[in-house]
Amino acid sequence: MMSYVASIHVSAEGVATCQSLGSKYRTPRFNLYRHVHGDMQPRPLFISLIRMHHISNPSKFRRLKRFAVQAKVSGLAKTGKPGVAIFDGDKESIKAFLENARGLRYVDFHHVTTKLVVNGIEKRVADGQIGLQEVQDMNKLVNLLDGIGEKEWFRTEMGMSRG
């Protein structure tokens, strides 16, 4: 006979006690942190850059911002022409966001690059706030990236480097 779990109580040690229909049983070695986060090691942080012809449609931009929240990425988006978004997160989050962003069918959409962040969690795009923060012009975006040490990388990848 199959019983269905009605409730789960997790102790401070991370041991789950499951209350099923009329019986109790313990699930040993159930670690809540591992269950929620997948593993005990912090995931590596990546930074990614996309560009498109423009970001002007308000409803499309709202959807792009919603996709960023759903994928749990933190970033900046420059509206107008050209449209640019730079964001960070773990590899799976970035992949999920890129798949959804491509689905919006922005004109001339390009995933420029993704790289491993060497300075880790210390300096994050948009201070690690989940979602996309709107930036009005390229100078403001470049200045914000300068604050986290990614200005030269951004300028090189966008073809803006002085040379």
Give the pLDDT means over successive 10-residue stretches in the chain (163 positions). 45 48 41 48 90 97 98 97 96 97 96 87 86 96 94 94 70
DSSP annotation string for the chain = ----EEEEEE-TTS-EEEEESS-EEEETT--HHHHHHSSSSPPPPEEEEEEES-B--HHHHHHHHHHHHHHT-EEEEE-BSSEEEEEEE-HHHHHHHHHHHHHT--TT-EEEEEEE-SSTTSS-GGGG-SEEEEESSHHHHHHHHHHTT-HHHHHHHTT----
| Predicted local distance difference test score (pLDDT) of residue 3 | 40
- pTM, two decimals, is 0.73
Positive or negative, the Cα torsion across 144, 147, 151, 153? Answer: negative
| Predicted local distance difference test score (pLDDT) of residue 119 | 66
Write out pLDDT tens, residues 65-79: 999 999 999 999 999
Domain ranges in the chain are 5-37, 46-157
| Predicted local distance difference test score (pLDDT) of residue 14 | 47
Give the whole-angstrom CA distance, residue 37 versus residue 131. 19
| Predicted local distance difference test score (pLDDT) of residue 22 | 45
CATH classification (class only), 46-157: alpha beta
